[in-house]
Amino acid sequence: MSEATTTPQKLYPIPAPRLQEFVQSVLTANGVSPQNAQITASCLVQADLRGVDTHGSNRIPSYMERIRQGVLDASADPTLSQTTPVVALVDGHNGFGFPAAHMGMARAIEMAREFGIGMMSVKHSNHFGMSAWLVQQAIDAGMMSLVFTNSSPALPVWGGREKLMGVSPIACGAPAGKSKPFILDMAPSVAARGKIYKALRRGEKIPTDWALDSEGKQTDDPAKALEGVMLPMGGPKGSALAIMMDLFSGVLSGSAFAGNVTGPYDPSKPADVGHFLVAIKPDLFMGLDEFKERMDYLYQRVVGSEKAAGVERIYFPGEIEQDMKEERLQNGIPLSEAEIEALNKEANRAGVDPLKVT
Ligand X SMILES: NC(=O)c1ccc[n+]([C@@H]2O[C@H](COP(=O)([O-])OP(=O)(O)OC[C@H]3O[C@@H](n4cnc5c(N)ncnc54)[C@H](O)[C@@H]3O)[C@@H](O)[C@H]2O)c1
**Binding residues for ligand X (CB under 6 A):** 52, 54-55, 127-132, 149, 151, 167-169, 171, 183-187, 191-192, 194, 315, 317-318, 320-321
Q: Nearer Cβ to ligand X, position 294 or 325? A: 325
Q: Nearer Cβ to ligand X, position 37 or 191? A: 191
Q: How far is the CB of 24 from ligand X (least distance, A)?
A: 20
Q: How far is the CB of 313 from ligand X (least distance, A)?
A: 9
Q: Nearer Cβ to ligand X, position 14 or 167? A: 167
Q: Nearer Cβ to ligand X, position 284 or 320? A: 320
Q: Nearer Cβ to ligand X, position 286 or 320? A: 320
Q: How far is the CB of 314 from ligand X (least distance, A)?
A: 7
Q: How far is the CB of 59 from ligand X (least distance, A)?
A: 10
Q: Nearer Cβ to ligand X, position 102 or 127? A: 127
Q: How far is the CB of 241 from ligand X (least distance, A)?
A: 11
Let me know: does 257 contact 152? Beta carbons within 8 Å: no
Q: How far is the CB of 352 from ligand X (least distance, A)?
A: 26
